[in-house]
Amino acid sequence: MYQEAKEMYASIGVDVEQALTALASTPISLHCWQGDDVVGFESGAGALGSGLAVTGNYPGKARSIDELRQDLEQVLSLLPGKHRLNLHAIYGDFGGQKIDRDAIELAHFQTWIDWAQAQGIGMDFNPSNFSHAKADDGFTLSHPDAGIRDFWIEHCKRSRAIAAEMGKQLGSAAVTNVWVPDGMKDLPADRQGFRQRLSDSLDAVFADKLDAAHNIDAVECKLFGIGSESFVVGSHEFYMGYAQKQQTALCLDAGHFHPTESIADKISSVLMYVPELLLHVSRGVRWDSDHVVLFDDATQQIMQELVRCDALPRTHIGLDFFDASINRIAAWAIGTRAAQKSLLLALLEPRAALLEAELSGDYTTRLALLEQAKALPWSAVWAEFCQRNDVPDELGLLAKVKDYEKTVLSARN
């Protein structure tokens, strides 16, 4: 089937081997927080807060670092290609000690770096400006209280320094993404004051210039969250301007815009003004619900834009969803593979023919080619990719997940 598919694609000018090489060299950064419902390993970790919510109570969630690593290894065994780990600061190896966020150090993440080294993968990092007493009233870096701002500035600065060391040790720059929940349930009287304070705090966070070979800074906007329905300090316009000013990467989370707004259309615009992109591939259902990513139109359009804009070298693809209502390993594997399949479909587009049709004004041919691409045997190419990487194909995936549930997850709780 693969040989036939290859010939069929060649007949419309698509080099399948070239597409597979591009797919193999595009890692997806696996978000650690899918494994334990965004709890982390701080001593006395409280309830998830700051507008984040996980629904579901499926048995078998990871309760320790060892269990989370075991689950991640299982997920990696189900994914073709080499990927990365995206760690939040609350997932440090704190050894049961109470380490507050403004006191985290490299030592708390060294076992993660060693684990990543053993897996042969890179790491990305995130300060965790949420689920903490000093974030409970809705503000962190933009808080009116200078003491609280300083606390979170220190946390973010330390996070960047730790990430840079991760990048250095692993030989692959870590993307450090700053997201803050700051916002208000009801109408603010002074939007500008909050935004000025956020901007000043971010300037302090990014004041130390780090080697780009080790650390890449990113900032993430949001439209609204639970409890910040009327006002989010770090809106899209805020961070679009800020990332441009600082020349940091801009993070686009697919769930952080209006439900009908697509981040795909933003890619070609923002890359004109910021050096790099970080994507949080997600699926919002009516709101920022962080449903598992699917092989759907929205995800396919994102990947199409990355390929069509030749943006893959300037884009870091991460995931951001957390579903506790289904097997968490399945959620991770299905969501990541959906992102990869979407990327493969985009890489298999008859690019030259599409461009020729568009530039000559032949929109009939353009539309026909786009429809034709959907009917071509891309799934045979995906199956070949899975086989070459020694991971289950679509028909074999579920059995592997069920087997792990039976032998490992069911023994938890």
Ligand X SMILES: C[C@H](O)[C@H](O)[C@@H](O)C(=O)CO
Q: Which residue has the tokens 């059995």?
A: 399
Picked from Mn ion, ligand X, none, the partner binding residue 158 (CB below 5 to 8 A depending on kind) is none
Please, are residues 35 and 61 in contact by the beta-carbon 8 Å criterion? Answer: yes
253 binds ligand X per the rule CB under 6 A: yes
Torsion angles phi and psi, residue 317, rounded to 5: -95, 115
Secondary structure class of 262 (helix, strand, coil): coil
DSSP secondary structure, 28-95, as one string: EEEEGGGTTTS--S-TT-----TT-------S----SHHHHHHHHHHHHTTSSS--EEEEEGGG---T
Amino acid at 31: H
Of the residues 280, 316, 328, 366, which one makes contact with ligand X according to CB under 6 A: 280
37 annotated to a ligand binding site: no
Ranges within 309-338 binding ligand X (CB under 6 A): 320
Which residues inside 237-256 make contact with Mn ion, applying CB under 5 A? 253
Angle at 348 between CA 343 and CA 351, to 5 degrees: 110
Residue 126 interface partner, choices Mn ion, ligand X, none, CB cut-off 5-8 Å depending on type: ligand X
Residue numbers 61-100 binding ligand X by CB under 6 A? none
256 a known binding residue? yes
- Which residue in the set 5, 28, 32, 33 belongs to the binding site for ligand X (CB under 6 A)? 33
265-324 residues in contact with Mn ion (CB under 5 A) are: 280, 320
Beta-carbon contacts of 36 under 8 Å, excluding residues fewer than 6 positions away, are 61, 62, 63, 68
- Distance from C-alpha of 333 to C-alpha of 3, rounded to nearest angstrom: 27
Q: Tell me 324's DSSP state.
A: S
Interface size with Mn ion, residues (CB under 5 A): 3
Q: Which residues pair with 252 in a beta bridge?
A: 279
Our CB check for ligand X shows the closer of 183 and 350 to be: 183
Which residue, 154 or 253, is less far from ligand X as judged by CB? 253
Return the number of the residue (182 or 253) whose C-beta is nearest ligand X: 253
Q: Which is nearer to ligand X, 253 or 276 (CB)?
A: 253
Kindly name the residue from 320, 323, 349, 384 that is annotated as catalytic.
320
From the list ligand X, Mn ion, none, partner contacted by residue 38 (C-beta under 5 to 8 A by kind): ligand X
| Residues 122, 85: Cα–Cα separation, whole Å | 6
Q: Is 265 a catalytic residue?
A: no
Which residues would be at the binding site for Mn ion (CB under 5 A)?
253, 280, 320
Which residues would be at the binding site for ligand X (CB under 6 A)?
33, 38, 52, 126, 179, 220, 222, 253, 280, 288, 320
